[in-house]
């Protein structure tokens, strides 16, 4: 009833939105069964919305040496470091679904070093957190260390680019007080069958 | 001669680039007299390039309660906090030009609290740095404090959005080792006349 | 099959344990339906086990101005600050059950300031985190601020005592690599009906 | 005359206390010649008092690969990191007595790296401080490094357990404003003879 | 016998030293009964020695609104924050002597907020620590807050100047591994008479 | 016109100053073409002025294994870490002049790790920043690492001594709100010819 708002800013109604944005939202709703609040809240500014999702797709949908689950791990780990509730909950759900693992998202959000993931994935997340928290310290040694685990330079751009993009995303979510949809909290926790 | 490279990643030649990107670069070159390295280095990935500059323009060129110089102040102050040489030097130059002030960029990059700017601008930069460094602590009180200085909620989105976008930008520059053009160091330091 | 161990240290079998400890474990198993790993892993040292749970019960079961859900909020918030996966997951589950709220535990673990809780509870958690993270800064002003919200001095001891006890508990869990039971991840997330 | 109180909370008179607690206090008074304030101040809550000292004794009195002086070093070093005056002063005194060394306590409280102790003891204190300050970063490498110095896994539990227990103790002392007895400041500083 | 050296650098013999430095050392020896190691170790570089003690005397011996004990409090509090054993132990001794108080030095070194000193002295030490730890944040408000306690602007220069000078002194002591004389540990702890 | 003051404290007129200080100021004015504000503002206290510049000259003018440009690099890098506008701008100018390099000062002030300097110079600045920011952690290993780069122990004293002296200098500049002369901002940026 007195449900708290999902943003500090006005949330546009679908009917008000430009066609391309409404189409994008319809597409995600059909796929997910609900509209994640990031789409509704960022639609307050259509130009920034378009750039945001174009950037997101460029990184998250491209061909890459990283699996989709690995890319979501980067999102969850860096959002954990930034205390961004929306991204931890929403991308934690996506990670559970992609990885078919009900535990990995909570593990990675709290402390990737103790998560049930491979040493290669731990190296990946260690670098992503360095980009998130102290990118000024990145040096050639970091690239060398990742190459030892089989990452190409393009993979490293992917890791760093995702960490950098969610540095933006986490800050926008914290700025506008974006609230996660209730659906995300449970998604991927119960094995299907 | 043995000039260090401007990126850890391959820098495309103009001829290789898609038409829209080449046109964008030609435009900036005509305006500035040289091609800022951010255009050349990010062009390594055209889709991310397009989203990056679309986002940049959406924030930096829109109608706003913030002047263009104020928006550049936000860039310089938050890039200073992130130790991003490229952004401090390049946007410091742009700030000097917009503000017609040879001193303000160095002041703001080091310590905005002691810069020769207005109390309203100091409040703006204090909030921008909070978004940059600990966005999880943002609360309604921060909005109230900015409104006292006459900022509208849309202005506050602008402040926070610019800080958030350059959180991304600084991390990309640090990731790829982006190097500032020599031209930027002197720009706006010598009064014209 | 190749399930990771629940502790860096040997985990005693129930049959090996002293009677009082085995009885305590049987009791919790009957109540919860499984044995939380904190009981099995700390039983490696019976004397410390007894003191640990005596301390726990003295704080968590006593008559208090804090509800049981509020006490669990303190555990979850401070364990979040200490990145202790076991305590976040296990006590997050207990909090969901006590509060009959599937969302509050994740909210409090990430950022209590944005959780759907009362101002009084936010003041309580702010103080608990001060005890957890910089107890040397506690002063009379902190007590005054809590009294404004109706907390008695004994309530304040409860808040600080729980934060202090879980400072110990989080460190033990991190020391021995304590692993949360799978059951906790889902507990309290699905509304009964 | 206007001596500041030894606790923010009421300090019970001996006559009011349960028999077992009064007996414990009488015992320490006979041994030390005075009643350390930690006994009087924590007696405000008998159940927590009992659990506290049971835990203390389980760690500090047990058979161990660590000498009693080494265990006090851990207390002093971690209490120094937590700025806990009571524990630095009281356990500094005990350390001086056990180690028969008038200098080591001040050295360890300020900077164990420069103290006149063995490399093995420096490794021990480095680990204790990691448990005290960032236990989430503990990994298998830390265990390996300690084993090189001859510590068994049970010794490592002792080190970590003492650091964890005094994480609790320091916070309680800071919470209630526990004040060290004047006697402690001089104890063990003057060589007997 | 195998006493550790008092400096990482060569310690000159008195006979080798320039006359003015030897005279200064003779003077302090006569007054204190021993030669504090800071004199012997810094004499390795006569020019820096002369400037160091000229600066020291200019601040510590001048007419001031601060008592000598208050000036030593500043030294002890900021040296505590910098973990400088030599300065804590040596100036802690001097503070005990000047203040005729065997407890205040340990209190101030660990946590001035809980020391038995006046509110005015707490304000003084709060400002001194700001100069020591984050001088970039000093603003006009800090000056206003000190004036409320009756400090003149010259007093504030004294406070800040002493904190700044011991920022140098602490770093030199840590650089060369300066070791406190045994005499300092006990000085001023036993009431005379 | 309404030019902000160059110090929070009274700035003496030249005629009021003692002869030796006036002579020193005349000398620097002749050499530089203007009087750097550090001379005018610190002259408020002649005794401290004399000790300050005696210390400065003892370190910066002595025979050393470090070039003058390298010594200025240390000043700029540590002043950058301390957010001291005066020292960054004034010594950045001197560094540009000594190094005949218009870029190195901005590079070193922001992030020496990415500056166009030698590995030996990066080791030097890494150590200088350790002295500036956490001198308590300096150990024999730091000396060994510098010797590998060919630094003698006297060179290491120079590095650490300069970092320590500017720890004092930065704090004094921040205390009194020292303002850089406009001349410094441009000095050394335009190649002569």
The 10s digit of each residue's pLDDT in B24-56 is: 999 999 999 999 999 999 999 999 999 999 999
Residues from chain B contacting residue F177 (CB–CB below 8 Å): 114
**DSSP track, chain D:** --PPPS-SS----GGGS-HHHHHHHHHHHHHHSS--HHHHHHTTSHHHHHHHHHHHHHHHSS--SS-HHHHHHHHHHHHHHTT-HHHHHHHHHHHHHHHT-SSHHHHHHHHGGGSS--HHHHHHHHHHHHHHHHGGG--HHHHHHHHHTT--HHHHHHHHHHHHHHHHHHHHHHHHT----HHHHHTTTSPP-
Residues from chain C contacting residue A110 (CB–CB below 8 Å): 80, 83-85, 88
> What pLDDT, on the 0 to 100 scale, is given for residue A15?
93
Mean pLDDT across the stretch B99-128? 97
Task: Work out the pLDDT band at A50, boundaries 50, 70, 90.
Answer: very high
Residues from chain C contacting residue B137 (CB–CB below 8 Å): 113
Residues from chain A contacting residue B163 (CB–CB below 8 Å): 171
> What pLDDT, on the 0 to 100 scale, is given for residue C2?
59
Question: Within 13 Å of residue E108, how many CA atoms lie on the same side as its CB?
Answer: 36
Mean pLDDT across the stretch E170-182? 98
Low-confidence stretches of chain C (pLDDT < 70) are 1-2, 191-193
How far apart are the C-alpha atoms of E46 and A51, rounded to whole Å?
A: 64
Tokens describing residue A125: 């997340």
Residues from chain B contacting residue A153 (CB–CB below 8 Å): 8-9
User: What's the gap in Å between the CA of D187 and the closest CA on chain E?
Assistant: 10
How far apart are the C-alpha atoms of B126 and B160, rounded to whole Å?
A: 11
pLDDT (tens digit, 9 = 90+) per residue, F105-129?
999 999 999 999 999 999 999 999 9
User: What's the gap in Å between the CA of F20 and the closest CA on chain B?
Assistant: 32
Closest CA to A181 of A27, A48, A28, A20: A28
Residues from chain B contacting residue F190 (CB–CB below 8 Å): 186, 190
How far apart are the C-alpha atoms of C82 and C172, rounded to whole Å?
A: 12
Residue among E113, E115, E133 with most chain C CBs within 10 A, to mutate: E113
Q: Decide: residue C81, CB within 10 A, 0-12 exposed, 13-18 middle, 19+ buried.
A: buried
Q: Do A182 and C111 touch (CB under 8 A)?
A: no
Largest CA distance in chain A: 54
Chain E residues in contact with chain B using a Cβ-Cβ cutoff of 8 Å: 136-137, 139
Task: Work out the pLDDT band at A193, boundaries 50, 70, 90.
Answer: very low
> What pLDDT, on the 0 to 100 scale, is given for residue C1?
43
Within 10 angstroms of residue A114's Cβ, the number of other Cβ atoms is 22
Low-confidence stretches of chain D (pLDDT < 50) are 1, 193
| A146, A123 contact by CB (below 8 A) | yes
How far apart are the C-alpha atoms of F59 and F62, rounded to whole Å?
A: 6
Residues from chain E contacting residue F175 (CB–CB below 8 Å): 131, 135, 138, 157, 160-161, 164
Nearest to D83 among E102, E103, E111 (CB): E111
pLDDT (tens digit, 9 = 90+) per residue, D95-138?
999 999 999 999 999 999 999 999 999 999 999 999 999 999 99
Orientation of helix D119-134 relative to helix D140-148, angle to 10° = 160
Closest CA to F42 of F82, F74, F4, F8: F8
Chain A residues in contact with chain C using a Cβ-Cβ cutoff of 8 Å: 4, 80, 83-85, 88-89, 102-103, 106-107, 110-111, 114, 116, 177, 182, 185-186, 189-190
Chains with ≥3 Cβ pairs under 8 A against D? A, C, E, F
Q: Do C172 and D160 touch (CB under 8 A)?
A: yes
User: What's the gap in Å between the CA of D160 and the closest CA on chain C?
Assistant: 7
Chain E residues in contact with chain D using a Cβ-Cβ cutoff of 8 Å: 4, 80, 83-85, 88-89, 102-103, 106-107, 110-111, 114, 116, 177, 182, 185-186, 189-190
Q: Decide: residue D39, CB within 10 A, 0-12 exposed, 13-18 middle, 19+ buried.
A: buried
Question: Within 13 Å of residue F93, how many CA atoms lie on the same side as its CB?
Answer: 16
The size of the E-F interface in CB pairs under 8 A is 111
Q: Do B107 and F85 touch (CB under 8 A)?
A: yes
Task: Work out the pLDDT band at B3, boundaries 50, 70, 90.
Answer: confident
Tokens describing residue B107: 């002041």
| E74, E125 contact by CB (below 8 A) | yes
Chain C residues in contact with chain A using a Cβ-Cβ cutoff of 8 Å: 4, 80, 83-85, 88-89, 102-103, 106-107, 110-111, 114, 116, 177, 182, 185-186, 189-190
Residues from chain E contacting residue C137 (CB–CB below 8 Å): 113
Mean pLDDT across the stretch A52-67? 97
Task: Work out the pLDDT band at B192, boundaries 50, 70, 90.
Answer: low
Q: Do B136 and A58 touch (CB under 8 A)?
A: no
> What pLDDT, on the 0 to 100 scale, is given for residue C8?
98
Closest CA to E9 of E35, E43, E54, E34: E43
- Residue C47 contacts by C-beta under 8 Å, 6 or more apart in sequence? D54, D57, D58, D62
Chain B residue with CA closest to C110: the answer is B136
Q: Is the pLDDT of residue F14 over 70?
A: yes
Question: Within 13 Å of residue A48, how many CA atoms lie on the same side as its CB?
Answer: 23
Per-chain mean pLDDT for chain F: 96
CA A182-A184-A188 angle, to 5 degrees, is 135
Q: Is the pLDDT of residue E181 over 60?
A: yes
pLDDT (tens digit, 9 = 90+) per residue, A131-188?
999 999 999 999 999 999 999 999 999 999 999 999 999 999 999 999 999 999 999 9
Question: Within 13 Å of residue B189, how many CA atoms lie on the same side as its CB?
Answer: 20
3-state secondary structure (DSSP) of residue C107: helix
Calculate what percentage of chain B has a pLDDT beyond 70.
97
CA dihedral A158, A163, A164, A170 (to 10 degrees): 140
Residues from chain F contacting residue B111 (CB–CB below 8 Å): 83, 85
- Residue E94 contacts by C-beta under 8 Å, 6 or more apart in sequence? E72, E187, E188
Residues from chain D contacting residue A111 (CB–CB below 8 Å): 136
Chain D residues in contact with chain E using a Cβ-Cβ cutoff of 8 Å: 4, 80, 83-85, 88-89, 102-103, 106-107, 110-111, 114, 116, 177, 182, 185-186, 189-190
Q: Is the pLDDT of residue A106 over 60?
A: yes
Question: Within 13 Å of residue C167, how many CA atoms lie on the same side as its CB?
Answer: 28
Residues from chain E contacting residue B111 (CB–CB below 8 Å): 136
Q: Is the pLDDT of residue F1 over 50?
A: no
The size of the C-E interface in CB pairs under 8 A is 4
Chain C residue with CA closest to B137: the answer is C113
Q: Give the least confident one: A47-51, B8-12, C187-191, E130-134.
A: C187-191
Nearest to F174 among E59, E135, E175 (CB): E135
Q: Is the pLDDT of residue E193 over 60?
A: no
How far are the Cα atoms of A75, D135, E190, F104 from residue F18, in angstroms, in the given order?
Answer: 64, 58, 46, 38
Q: Do F111 and A136 touch (CB under 8 A)?
A: yes
The size of the B-E interface in CB pairs under 8 A is 4
Nearest to A111 among C85, C182, C189 (CB): C85
| C114, A85 contact by CB (below 8 A) | yes
| D154, D62 contact by CB (below 8 A) | no
Q: Do C135 and D171 touch (CB under 8 A)?
A: yes
> What pLDDT, on the 0 to 100 scale, is given for residue D3?
75
Chain C residue with CA closest to E114: the answer is C139
| F touches B, CB cut-off 8 Å, minimum 3 pairs | yes
Chain C residue with CA closest to A80: the answer is C110
How far apart are the C-alpha atoms of B146 and B150, rounded to whole Å?
A: 7
Q: Do A160 and B172 touch (CB under 8 A)?
A: yes
State the sign of the Cα–Cα–Cα–Cα dihedral D160, D163, D169, D174: negative
User: What's the gap in Å between the CA of B111 and the closest CA on chain E?
Assistant: 7
Nearest to D182 among E4, E103, E114 (CB): E103
User: What's the gap in Å between the CA of F148 and the closest CA on chain E?
Assistant: 18
How far apart are the C-alpha atoms of B91 and B188, rounded to whole Å?
A: 11
> What pLDDT, on the 0 to 100 scale, is given for residue F66?
98
> What pLDDT, on the 0 to 100 scale, is given for residue C42?
98
pLDDT (tens digit, 9 = 90+) per residue, B53-105?
999 999 999 999 999 999 999 999 999 999 999 999 999 999 999 999 999 99
How far apart are the C-alpha atoms of D109 and D129, rounded to whole Å?
A: 11
Chain C residues in contact with chain E using a Cβ-Cβ cutoff of 8 Å: 136-137, 139
Gyration radius of chain E over CA positions: 17
User: What's the gap in Å between the CA of F189 and the closest CA on chain B?
Assistant: 7
pLDDT (tens digit, 9 = 90+) per residue, A112-122?
999 999 999 99
Closest CA to A165 of A67, A39, A58, A80: A58
| F touches C, CB cut-off 8 Å, minimum 3 pairs | no
How far are the Cα atoms of B90, B127, F38, F72, F110 from residue B79, in angstroms, in the given order?
Answer: 11, 14, 28, 24, 10
Read off φ and ψ for residue C68, nearest 5 degrees. Answer: -65, -35
């Amino acid at each position: 009833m007195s449900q708290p708002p999902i943003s500090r800013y006005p949330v546009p109604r679908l009917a008000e939105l430009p066609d391309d944005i409404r189409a994008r939202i319809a597409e995600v709703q059909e796929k997910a069964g609900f509209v994640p609040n990031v789409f509704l809240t960022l639609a307050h500014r259509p130009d920034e919305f378009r750039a945001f999702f174009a950037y997101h797709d460029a990184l998250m949908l491209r061909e890459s040496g990283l699996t989709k689950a690995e890319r979501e791990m980067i999102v969850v780990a860096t959002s954990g470091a930034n205390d961004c509730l929306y991204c931890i909950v929403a991308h934690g759900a996506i990670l559970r679904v992609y990885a078919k693992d009900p535990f990995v998202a909570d593990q990675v959000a709290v402390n990737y070093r103790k998560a049930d993931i491979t040493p290669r994935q731990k190296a990946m997340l260690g670098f992503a957190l360095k980009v998130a928290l102290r990118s000024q310290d990145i040096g050639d040694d970091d690239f060398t260390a990742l190459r030892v685990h089989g990452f190409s330079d393009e993979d490293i751009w992917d890791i760093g680019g995702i960490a950098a993009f969610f540095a933006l995303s986490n800050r926008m979510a914290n700025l506008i007080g974006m609230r996660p949809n209730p659906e995300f909290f449970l998604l991927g926790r119960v094995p299907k069958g």
